[in-house]
Amino acid sequence: MNQKIGAYASAVNLLAVTCFAISMLISSDFISYLSSILIAFSFVVMTCAFVYFSGEGAKVSGFCAMAFGIMYALCNSIVYFIQLSTVRNSPLTDQAADLLAFERFGMIFNLDMLGYCLMSISTIFIGITLEVRTRADRWLKWLFIVHGVFAVSCFMIPILGLFGSASQGSEIIGVLILEFWCLYFAPIGFLSFLHFARK
């Protein structure tokens, strides 16, 4: 059962990342936000499965992966649930929109970036936790660890205010960055599915 849960969570994660990539190409905020919540939920379940199957010597890194993964999921679920509920269904004042509307690159955008910083830290610890048995596992391990590089940019972008002025150019750059992230993260879902399917 634990193996199946890990495999199903990985499949959902891959599907959610794919939907997220498509949603940006067709400019569907609703699908983008909903798939982002699914990425967060499935990521936590995947992480728990990796920790369950980890060796005794990797438990601390596994627990760190779970802790950072849960913090990520909480931050990002709040961000996208607010977009799907409050922002979508309520008339906001201009000041409230500056804080809550994702496309304004304000407080809620900064919280989202913190969430992805936490996810990136979590993936480093998953990579450390992962027991390599095949060549695919070796790829998966290094994809997880190298993904941690995103932590620095996700932490620094809000602090430096690089997206502070919402312009057409910054939106296009943001979409290109996220599409690159999807291309990077989709193989993680696929290889994680193979990893659990083989157990």
Express each pLDDT in 40-99 by its tens digit: 999 999 999 999 998 888 999 999 999 999 999 999 999 999 999 988 888 888 888 878
Alpha carbon distance 54, 130 (integer Å): 6
Report yes or no: 12 and 49 within 8 Å, Cβ to Cβ.
no
Q: What share of the chain is helix, strand, coil (3-state, %, to 5)?
A: 85, 0, 15
Q: Give 138-188 pLDDT, tens digit per residue.
A: 999 999 999 999 999 999 988 887 766 555 556 777 788 889 999 999 999
Alpha helices in 26-134 (DSSP H): 29-52, 59-82, 88-89, 94-100, 107-129
Alpha carbon distance 50, 118 (integer Å): 17
The pTM of the full predicted model, rounded to 2 decimals, is 0.91
Residue whose C-alpha is closest to residue 109's, from 122, 96, 100? 100
Report yes or no: 18 and 58 within 8 Å, Cβ to Cβ.
no
Residue 68's identity, in one-letter code, is: F
Alpha-carbon dihedral sign for residues 77, 61, 114, 143:
negative
